[in-house]
Homo-oligomer: A and B are copies of this chain.
Amino acid sequence: MFEGKENLFFQAQMGSTLRGSGTCEDFLADQTIDHLVLISTCSVLTRERAQMSKVSQQNTTPSVNGISVIHTQAHASGLQQVPQLVPAGPGGGGKAVPPSKQSKKSLPMDRNSDEYRQRRERNNMAVKKSRLKSKQKAQDTLQRVNQLKEENERLEAKIKLLTKELSVLKDLFLEHAHNLADNVQPSSTENTTDSDNAGQ
């Protein structure tokens, strides 16, 4: 249990669907706590990274109750050098960006829009599903290994048995062959070699 007890302090994101609603709403209803959050947040803000590590973006949804909600949302995922995704673009840039249509793409999408949230939510579901599937497959593969190992043992056992059977039969055959020889030429010399003819 307690899979994803999050930090609240840094997000308390409650998505569009307000999953796990209850508590979230309760929390939001409590303005005092919000103040607290802001305060502590600020205290944190005071500090500045010596070498400035990240540049992000924050959305301060002005008022929702009177609480100044800080939407933030940095994710700070990759940090690879970004070519130039800046859509607003040419404004101050040195390069003359071709006046192509930048209407939809390159525009990072309003992070507050319902559409965005819907997209995210759906993707999150998809991701979860995909991961579940992946995990399932891995498990199946593992199971398959065990299955195959068992099968292998069975087969090896069978081979062992067959080999033994074959061996016995060969011996018998040889013996009888001798017997036959004896019967065919009873007048020959020694018959004593009969007994130790087990070697095939």
Contacts and interface: CB of A to CB of B under 8 A. Distances in A.
A54 B14 CA distance: 5
A172 B177 CA distance: 10
A18 B27 CA distance: 37
Most chain-B Cβ atoms within 10 A of its Cβ — which of A27, A55, A144? A55
B10 A92 contact: no
A123 interface: no
A193 interface: no
B155 A11 contact: no
Contacts of A7: 77, 82, 85, 108
- Interface size for chain A: under 10, 10 to 19, 20 to 34, or 35 or more residues? 35 or more
A54 B176 contact: no
Interface string A92-105: 11100000000000
Contacts of A85: 5, 7-9
Given A30-B93, A54-B15, A88 B45 contact: no
A162 B162 CA distance: 6
A141 interface: yes
Interface of A: 3-16, 18-24, 26-28, 30-37, 39-41, 43-45, 47-65, 69-89, 91-94, 108, 110-114, 117, 138, 141-142, 144-145, 148-149, 151-152, 155-156, 158-159, 162-163, 165-166, 169-170, 172-173, 176-177, 179-180, 183-184, 200
B77 A55 contact: no
A14 to B, nearest CB: 5
Contacts of A76: 11, 13, 72-73, 75
Given A7-B82, A23-B82, A58-B70, 13 more contacts: A12-B56, A13-B54, A14-B79, A18-B53, A33-B84, A33-B86, A39-B91, A57-B72, A138-B141, A144-B145, A148-B149, A152-B155, A176-B176
Nearest to A14: B79
